Structure 1
Amino acid sequence: MSATQEGSLAGKVAIVSGSNAGIGAAIIAELNSRGAYTVINYPFPHFRDEAEKLISSLKAPAIAVEADLSTVSGPQKLVDATVAKWGKIDILVNSAGLAVNKPFEEQTLDDWDLVVNLNGRGTFLLTQAALKHLTKGGSRIVNIVSISSRGPPPGQTIYAGSKGMVDSFTRCWAKELPPKYGCTVNAVSPGPTKTAGFADAGEEQMKILQPTIDQTPAGARMGEPSEIAYAVAFLCEERARWVNGEHMVVCGGLFVD
């Protein structure tokens, strides 16, 4: 990290949903390394140790909050815990999400509820709950979308649709929210990224995706979570204050809009 980045977010309060592991954890580490007070969110009690281990690796203050964002009450719980601790929110990163990878004919209403309630409704409710606590004039909302929102592979009907919803949220909020709340609203769309969650997609899904990964212009590999986190952190910096409504695709050029 350069000297100009170190401490550049000092004293900023950042919520990153779904951040006990994977891309969310990498975003926590990046923002915290720049001085942000970070809120690690995990959904269930058995992830607490993972969240606490992440806290132990950080330098700036951090807390861990159990809140299941797929429920109606979880988003408010996360915001309430943050405000009780620090009294404000400067950065909100909507990172919590999951995927179901199945042929379209096999996808069910249970799959729909599982994916859409977290990826879509969770983002909707968490952002609503955070709005009145945003620091006016310098706050940031960053939605983690996905390359699948605009270039989905087979088997991701519900997941791609839910991320398309968040893609559209970003476009709408970037026009509607800054005049009221003094924030910016942007999206970061990762391509295939080396996380445990991606590995859980299964061998069959990887067989489908591997030829695509091999064609990535910047390198025949998956992305690293830290590379996604760096893009998010850029959007949270003071000097990114004129970047609003941007959809930053971080995938090595695999998808070019």
Structure 2
Amino acid sequence: MEAIASRKRINPPSGRKPKRSRREARGASVVINYGWPDLQGAANEVGNSLHTPWIAVEADISTVDGPAELVKAAVDKFGKIDIIVNNAAQATLAKVEDTTVNLWDTTMNTNVRGAFLVTQAALTYLPPKSEGGGGRIINITSEVATSPEILQTAYATSKGAIATLTRCLAKDLPPTYGCTVNAVSPGIVKTPQFLGELQKMCNAFLTQIFDARTPVDGWIGLPEDVAFAVSFLAEERASWINGASIDVSGGMFFD
């Protein structure tokens, strides 16, 4: 999923233990993207957990037109864009000899081209630099960009490209648009997609390996851990952080 947000002056919900999805929205109006009709329920579930205005938009980020459709829907609803989170990803596991052109292209189009096109389409709707700027572009890369495992050639290559794209945009965009561009690099995160692949690769065996390699208790992170890093970079006070990548892996991976 991609996410686009427009800041509003809304205080976060009170309570000792609010759901993190609510807390990490931090008062922003949120546009949640889903790529296919069967994901609408999941997108609505996320939206319904927020205490802030939101919409869910179906747009296939792997296509040429999908990114612009998403941006248009966001602007039509909220009028502007303050924060872009490029999170759409195609996770693929395949031997090099089994990686078809279609698999390679789908991975690159979703993970790399999609992020570029969403960003490109949204630039003119970011807060103008002449008015102080303050836009935030946050790309989700992965620790596999620098520490790949077997069967990850296409996926790791795409995430390496996102890491480089982040650094390039961090040089090119701020002088003109007054924004910042950063990345969050998750390690192993407990998502349905990952757990499905993990089951194929022998859950118990890998659990032992990963647990031994993670300094922080608990070998697997939660989506909320990644969301916290994203929301930190999206803060207005994070204006001096640009071109950075935050590792979110419990110390299993770092440069």
The interval holding the TM-score normalised by the smaller chain is: 0.7 to 0.9
Match of 2:120 among 109, 123, 128: 128
**1:82-161 alignment to 2 at 5 Å?**
82-136=74-128, 137-161=133-157
Greater mean deviation of Cα atoms: 102-111 or 81-90:
102-111
- Any idea what SS the aligned residue of 1:201 has? helix
Task: Report the CA distance between 1:29 and its aligned residue.
Answer: 4.1
Q: Which amino acid aligns with 2:185?
A: S
- Any idea what SS the aligned residue of 1:69 has? coil
CA contact (8 A) 2:127 2:134 kept: yes
Determine the C-alpha separation between the residues in 2 that align with 1:103 and 1:29. Answer: 40
User: What is the TM-score when the length of structure 1 is the normalising length?
Assistant: 0.86
CA contact (8 A) 2:187 2:248 kept: yes
Partner residue in 1 for 2:13: none
Q: Where has structure 1 moved over 6 Å in runs of 4 or more?
A: none
Q: Which amino acid aligns with 2:180?
A: T
Stretches of structure 1 lacking an aligned partner (at least 5 in a row): 1-8, 13-25
Partner residue in 2 for 1:232: 230
Q: Which amino acid aligns with 1:244?
A: N
Partner residue in 2 for 1:37: 29
Cα-to-partner distance string for 1:159-178 (whole Å, 9 max, x where unaligned) = 00001110000011111100
Match of 1:47 among 26, 39, 42: 39
CA contact (8 A) 2:8 2:29 kept: yes
Match of 1:248 among 222, 246, 249: 246
- Any idea what SS the aligned residue of 1:248 has? strand
Match of 1:172 among 163, 168, 172: 168
Greater mean deviation of Cα atoms: 208-217 or 219-228:
208-217
Cα-to-partner distance string for 1:182-219 (whole Å, 9 max, x where unaligned) = 00000000001000011122434356854134311112
Q: Which amino acid aligns with 2:71?
A: V
Stretches of structure 2 lacking an aligned partner (at least 5 in a row): 1-6, 11-18
- Any idea what SS the aligned residue of 1:200 has? helix
Task: Report the CA distance between 1:239 and its aligned residue.
Answer: 1.4
Cα-to-partner distance string for 1:56-78 (whole Å, 9 max, x where unaligned) = 22111001111010111000000
Cα-to-partner distance string for 1:101-121 (whole Å, 9 max, x where unaligned) = 122222211210221110011
CA contact (8 A) 1:28 1:40 kept: no
**1:183-202 alignment to 2 at 5 Å?**
183-202=179-198
User: What is the TM-score when the length of structure 2 is the normalising length?
Assistant: 0.87
CA contact (8 A) 2:21 2:49 kept: no
How many residues are matched? 235
CA contact (8 A) 2:84 2:138 kept: yes
Aligned-residue sequence identity (percent) comes to 48
CA RMSD of aligned residues (A): 1.9
